[in-house]
């Protein structure tokens, strides 16, 4: 059984001109794509199986990510069902020279584990063993749409 902290993944994307809209900021759809990819990685780390997106819950864009900045995506599994996992995702804009960060986007995705025939398969229980696990899970629960 994996722990919450074992599912934590952080990834970075440098926002290029091809990633931006007419206002010089990352397209919302591009940010969602990056979040979906990192969220799936966290889900697969937990499930040990291929995971596909089933639902996006409470996607909030609070501020833009300007071209030239870095989009930092954090993902962590905080709940496991029978065949699905809930992943908390946050995006931040990060200044490449200073590392200064500001949260831009917050969401919760549900992924379903599937086999080679794309049929749902069971996922293991999620362990919450350390303070870091508890803190990551609590932050996810507090920001959940039904939390």
User: Per-residue pLDDT tens for 71-80?
Assistant: 999 999 999 9
Q: Residue 31: in which H helix or E strand, if any? A: helix 28-47
User: Per-residue pLDDT tens for 30-49?
Assistant: 999 999 999 999 999 999 99
CATH architecture of 5-143: Roll (3.10)
**pTM across the whole model:** 0.94
Secondary structure class of 126 (helix, strand, coil): coil
Domain boundaries, the chain: 5-143
């Amino acid at each position: 059984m994996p722990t919450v902290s074992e599912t934590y993944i952080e990834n970075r994307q440098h926002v290029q001109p091809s990633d931006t809209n007419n206002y010089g900021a990352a397209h919302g759809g591009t940010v969602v794509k990056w979040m979906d990819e990192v969220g799936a990685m966290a889900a697969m780390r937990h499930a040990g199986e291929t995971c596909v997106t089933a639902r996006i819950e409470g996607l909030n864009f609070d501020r833009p990510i300007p071209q030239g900045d870095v989009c930092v995506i954090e993902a962590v599994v905080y709940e496991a069902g029978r065949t699905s996992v809930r992943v908390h995702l946050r995006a931040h804009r990060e200044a490449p020279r200073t590392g200064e960060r500001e949260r831009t986007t917050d969401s919760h995705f549900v992924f379903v584990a599937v086999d080679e025939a794309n049929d749902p398969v069971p996922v293991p229980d999620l362990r919450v063993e350390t303070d870091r696990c508890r803190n990551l899970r609590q932050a996810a629960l507090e920001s959940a749409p039904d939390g």
